[in-house]
Chain A
Amino acid sequence: MAVVTPAAPAATEEDKELLISGSEAVAEALTLADLDVVTAYPIRPYDTVMQAIAKKISGGQLVAEYIVAEGEHSQFEIVKHASTVGARVFCGSSGVGWMYAMECLVVTPPLRVPMVALVGNRALDDPGAFGVEHNDALVVRDVGWMLCWIDTSQEALDTTLIAYRVAEDRRVFLPLAISADGAFLTHSQALTMVPPKSKVDRFLPRYDRGDLLLHPDNPITVAPQANEDWVIEIRRQNYEAMARAVTVIDEAYADFRRVFGRGPENPWFEEYMADDADVILVGMGTISLPIKVAIRELRAKGKKVGLVRLRWFRPFPTERLVAALSRAKAVGVIDRDYSFGSPFGSGVVANEIRAALYNAERRPPLLSFICGLGGREVTLEDVYKATDLCYAAATSGKSDPKTHWLGVRE
């Protein structure tokens, strides 16, 4: 059997272009970030990232402890503890797997563990479905996880590097989950620019646990029983850390652009033809593709429609989003999630934006849509229907709080 010796990395500052999936792009970033400990457990669709990392390790590009856990609960606990002794860690899951880890997800933010995880968004059971829904990642929206949604393989790679930079910043020290739509992004290949390690080293410092390091040289007691004496102060510290993350994210993207020569000026959301739009549609993740195609068709017919694709959900870019949306004549939020029994029965994103707009001086009518659940394709017809309803609201100037389900058999 031939012994394969990995080629020495070329001493070049040039990016190389690879045709890779979103999951593979994350694995490229983890290799560049010199990951220390990773835990895997199989569930579709996120697990393609773990397959890709395993190849990086067996191929010699990455030296890391690769542990196959016996369930997601252990999967997240193992890396949580590895992080407390100073290791850079990665984990991930999908759908009910993420739920199985829930106890371990909620303890990570108050422990100030800067874990980075990939959620390959997947519908929750029952019944079984592999397709995308955003409810899995969204369940941790209240407990101190930073949450962002990505759209392309390039964004997967770039955001993974940014994620470590933000999470491991001492001002933040919070876990961060990157959401990638199951199948549409985790499994779809696209040309992706992979930077050289030299550039990454200029952007991403070593993880320094500092005075929180669990080590015999620093004999601290972590998470003793605190009760009513101190818990509210600890919650407040988490609150402050999440607030500080806003600045750190802005800084990280600016620095990313400086080092890598690419990346968005606005970290928080992508605006597509939104500047002059009468109707702005809002969504997260790969739903941008059918919306962008529809917008081009609608623009050709003279309809000024735009898209705001939200990247960051936690921390939520309240002021910037309000500024971007309040200039429209109507806003339509398309949720790929549900929140049964919520105000107006709307999805999670729609109600967050309603809350964000409450204090705005100018509040455009806001329409709420639920679409594409269980991985169902979001069609141009769905987008046209949403746009029509938004135009009607723009004309009347009235918000109909009803939630519209698109592309569903009635």
Chain B
Amino acid sequence: MAETTTFGNATQILEPFRGVKRVTIEEYFTSGHRTCQGCESALVMKLMVKASGPRTIVLGSTGCMYVANTTYYTTPWVVPWMHTQLGSSGSAALGTAAGLKALMRKGKMKSEPINVIAFCGDGGGADMGLGAISATLTHKEYNSLILLYDNESYANTDIQLSGMTPYGANTTFSPPGKVKRLIHTRWKKNMAGLMAAGHPECRYVATVCASYAVEMMNKVRRALTIGGPTFIHSLDPCPKGWDYDPMLSHELGELAIETGIFPLYEVEDGQVKYYGKTKAIVEGRARKPVREYLLKQGRFAHFVEEDLDYFQAKVDEMWEKWEIPAVVPFRRLDATRAALSAK
């Protein structure tokens, strides 16, 4: 019955892929899924388990990547996979990791680091499952990664708005009409910033976009290597929900970054590190106007100039007024700091 408090936190050491040619050839998410043409989230699933490798258990909460993606007799998953309830990605990760840890430390199962990844959509993760994810990110003794694939609506149930749907978007719960042009006037939740700021013992939070596939996989590998509970937020263009030609998924992902609407960064042990084109923005490259991104999508087709201006101003605010630009929305403390140092 001897035990130590440090038992069982070993992880698989997954070195980053140095370029696309070094990426492993094996696939652990293959044919059998039934997602839409141009579905970026299905690509995220494929890259996620490619990055994690075969000694991985994946838990999937209800959403597109369950209902459309994982059908009886045609499962695309090569690694063990299990459904979990809509709001339960956090609990699924925690329970699986705890079960493995208990059995290994009591000698009931061969001891080895097994990756545990639970994924959720924006509805399951940022709306219903927020509490469970938050709890899991405080359980530092269990290794797991929660990956939120954010296609910005409840896309599987007919495109209803979630707490992650952008301001003003046309969804089946926010249809523009003659009297009210904009039904949905809530600004999107800042999920990765929220997770990083709110869970000081969570060692790794990152945002990713599969338009930058190798970097995306490397963030997954970093999260699994560093251990403890970790969180990744992936922005996934969705042809059905966003209403655009499926061939544009990759370009829209890039534009979301280039316009500064979706920043790419990782927070490792409290250190914010921007990467990719977001890093270039931080270092002075001009952000593209948001209209270049918004007007390529039918969900914003009802926008008038006033709406575009509002949207642009809110994104400008993220970069110009936030204490940590595009990450933490507290207003800058320059004046306070100046006053304090003046004393």
CB atoms of B66 and A225 under 8 A apart: yes
A85 in complex: contacting residue of B55, B90, B96, CB < 8 Å: B96
How many residues of chain A get a CB closer than 8 Å to chain B's CBs? 45
CA gap between A84 and B88 in the complex, in Å: 15
Q: Is A302 an interface residue, CB under 8 A from the partner?
A: no
CB atoms of A104 and B82 under 8 A apart: no
Q: Is B13 an interface residue, CB under 8 A from the partner?
A: no
Q: Is B95 an interface residue, CB under 8 A from the partner?
A: yes
- For residue B98, which residues in chain A have a CB less than 8 angstroms away from its CB? 37, 65, 67, 78, 82, 87
Interface size class of B (residues with CB under 8 A): 35 or more
CB atoms of A216 and B79 under 8 A apart: yes
Q: A85-B57, A215-B57 are in contact. Are A222 and B3 (CB under 8 A)?
A: no
Q: Is B54 an interface residue, CB under 8 A from the partner?
A: yes
Q: A70-B135, A216-B56, A225-B70 are in contact. Are A81 and B79 (CB under 8 A)?
A: no
Q: Is B81 an interface residue, CB under 8 A from the partner?
A: yes
CB atoms of B108 and A86 under 8 A apart: yes
Nearest chain-B residue to A79 (Cβ)? B95
- For residue B70, which residues in chain A have a CB less than 8 angstroms away from its CB? 221, 224-225
Give min CB distance, B26 to chain A, whole Å.
13
Q: Is B102 an interface residue, CB under 8 A from the partner?
A: yes
- For residue A7, which residues in chain B have a CB less than 8 angstroms away from its CB? none
Within 8 A of A (CB), among B29-70: 54-57, 59, 66-67, 70
CB atoms of A77 and B85 under 8 A apart: yes
Q: A67-B139, A70-B134, A225-B71 are in contact. Are A82 and B102 (CB under 8 A)?
A: yes
CB atoms of B96 and A214 under 8 A apart: yes
Give min CB distance, B184 to chain A, whole Å.
27
Q: Is A289 an interface residue, CB under 8 A from the partner?
A: no
Which has the most chain A C-beta neighbours within 10 Å: B70, B83, B91, B92?
B91
- For residue B109, which residues in chain A have a CB less than 8 angstroms away from its CB? 86, 215
Give min CB distance, A72 to chain B, whole Å.
11
CB atoms of B1 and A36 under 8 A apart: no
- For residue A86, which residues in chain B have a CB less than 8 angstroms away from its CB? 99, 103, 108-109
Q: Is A303 an interface residue, CB under 8 A from the partner?
A: no
Which has the most chain A C-beta neighbours within 10 Å: B66, B92, B102?
B102
CA gap between A226 and B105 in the complex, in Å: 36
Q: Is A83 an interface residue, CB under 8 A from the partner?
A: yes
A74 in complex: contacting residue of B57, B81, B82, B90, CB < 8 Å: B90
Nearest chain-A residue to B96 (Cβ)? A81
Q: A37-B102, A65-B101, A81-B96 are in contact. Are A73 and B88 (CB under 8 A)?
A: yes
CA gap between A82 and B109 in the complex, in Å: 13
Report A85-98 CB contacts with B as 1/0, cut-off 8 Å.
Answer: 11101000000000
Nearest chain-A residue to B69 (Cβ)? A225
Q: Is A64 an interface residue, CB under 8 A from the partner?
A: yes
Nearest chain-B residue to A219 (Cβ)? B80
- For residue A81, which residues in chain B have a CB less than 8 angstroms away from its CB? 59, 82, 84, 91-92, 94-96, 99
Q: Is A259 an interface residue, CB under 8 A from the partner?
A: no
CB atoms of B72 and A224 under 8 A apart: yes
Within 8 A of A (CB), among B154-192: none
CB atoms of A214 and B82 under 8 A apart: yes
Q: Is B255 an interface residue, CB under 8 A from the partner?
A: no
CA gap between A224 and B67 in the complex, in Å: 8
Report A238-279 CB contacts with B as 1/0, cut-off 8 Å.
Answer: 000000000000000000000000000000000000000000
- For residue B1, which residues in chain A have a CB less than 8 angstroms away from its CB? 60, 63
Q: Is A229 an interface residue, CB under 8 A from the partner?
A: yes
CB atoms of B87 and A73 under 8 A apart: yes
Q: Is A230 an interface residue, CB under 8 A from the partner?
A: yes
CA gap between A85 and B109 in the complex, in Å: 10
Nearest chain-B residue to A74 (Cβ)? B91
- For residue A80, which residues in chain B have a CB less than 8 angstroms away from its CB? 95
CB atoms of B131 and A74 under 8 A apart: yes
A63 in complex: contacting residue of B3, B72, B87, CB < 8 Å: B3
Give min CB distance, A74 to chain B, whole Å.
4
- For residue A36, which residues in chain B have a CB less than 8 angstroms away from its CB? 99, 102-103, 106, 108
Q: Is B318 an interface residue, CB under 8 A from the partner?
A: no
- For residue A221, which residues in chain B have a CB less than 8 angstroms away from its CB? 70, 75, 77, 80-82
Nearest chain-A residue to B112 (Cβ)? A216
CB atoms of B102 and A87 under 8 A apart: yes
Give min CB distance, B290 to chain A, whole Å.
36
Q: Is A190 an interface residue, CB under 8 A from the partner?
A: no
Q: Is A359 an interface residue, CB under 8 A from the partner?
A: no
Q: A221-B77, A230-B72 are in contact. Are A85 and B67 (CB under 8 A)?
A: no
CA gap between A175 and B207 in the complex, in Å: 39
Report A49-72 CB contacts with B as 1/0, cut-off 8 Å.
Answer: 000000000001001110101110
B84 in complex: contacting residue of A60, A64, A77, CB < 8 Å: A77
Give min CB distance, A63 to chain B, whole Å.
6
Give min CB distance, B16 to chain A, whole Å.
22
Within 8 A of A (CB), among B96-135: 96, 98-103, 105-106, 108-109, 114, 131-132, 134-135
Q: Is A99 an interface residue, CB under 8 A from the partner?
A: no
Q: Is B301 an interface residue, CB under 8 A from the partner?
A: no
Give min CB distance, A34 to chain B, whole Å.
8
Q: A36-B99, A81-B59, A104-B88 are in contact. Are A229 and B72 (CB under 8 A)?
A: yes
CB atoms of B96 and A82 under 8 A apart: yes
B78 in complex: contacting residue of A71, A219, A226, CB < 8 Å: A219
17 A-B Cβ contacts within 8 A?
A37-B95, A37-B102, A63-B3, A63-B102, A67-B98, A73-B85, A74-B131, A82-B96, A85-B103, A87-B102, A216-B79, A219-B77, A219-B78, A219-B79, A221-B81, A225-B71, A227-B72
Closest 8 CB pairs of A and B: A81-B95, A82-B99, A77-B91, A78-B95, A87-B99, A221-B75, A223-B83, A222-B82
**Which A residues form the contact surface with B (CB < 8 A)?**
34, 36-37, 39, 60, 63-65, 67, 69-71, 73-74, 77-87, 89, 103-104, 107, 206, 214-216, 218-227, 229-230
Known A74-B135, A77-B95, A221-B80; 10 more pairs at CB < 8 Å: A34-B106, A36-B103, A74-B91, A74-B94, A81-B84, A84-B82, A84-B99, A85-B100, A216-B55, A225-B66
